[in-house]
Amino acid sequence: MPDAAPEAHSEVHSEATLGGKAVLVLTTNYGTEQDELRKPVAVLREAGARVTVAAQKDAEIRTVVSDRRPGAVVRPDTTLAKASADEFDAAIVPGGTVNADRLRTDDEARRLLAAFAEAGKPVAAICHGPWLLVETGLARGRELTSYPSLRSDLENAGGTWVDREVVVDTSGRHPLITSRKPGDLDAFASAVVRTLARGRTPADEKGTH
């Protein structure tokens, strides 16, 4: 993804070095909230992680700003169909209303997120991104947050919704990280970095068998 990303905050990156970690970002090709895609990518890469952006199609991603204005055009690294959870340590689902609504009906996106969860790997979602948690059953029994309009959806899916800038729930099979909106991105990205820093890489996991 060659596009310039927003400047990252050094206090986020000083918390950990993520060399050897690999993160997959799941998105469609239209309607993804610009900063919710670009900032976590920039933060994680600065912290040393390898980040791969997977879109529905091998075509440009046309992002938006505040769901209304055209944002940056981003090239994905691969497609959802070609991606495998086995190759990554964590998954991130950005928001954007149109993006999230399309993503939650995508069979490949659901397949990937379920595989991350089954393997016990961290799943992170922000803003409208938690819609995908509803569709995959990953909200059930978990404490989480989202854009406020998703509260009823998440509660109806069995989750406990709270109004905080970031929620890290480690009570289930896999760590779950959620945030409400672009204004929470610093806390969101920092939580992903800290969670990954405490985890293991796919190579580590293979070495334990």
Measured CA distances, 3 to 24, 35, 37, 57 (Å): 17, 12, 11, 18
- Tell me the catalytic residues: 127-128
Distance set, CA 90 to CA 15, 21, 93, 148 (Å): 18, 9, 10, 25
Residue 105 CA neighbour count, 13 Å, CB half: 4
By C-alpha distance, which of 5, 4, 62, 59 is closest to 31? 62
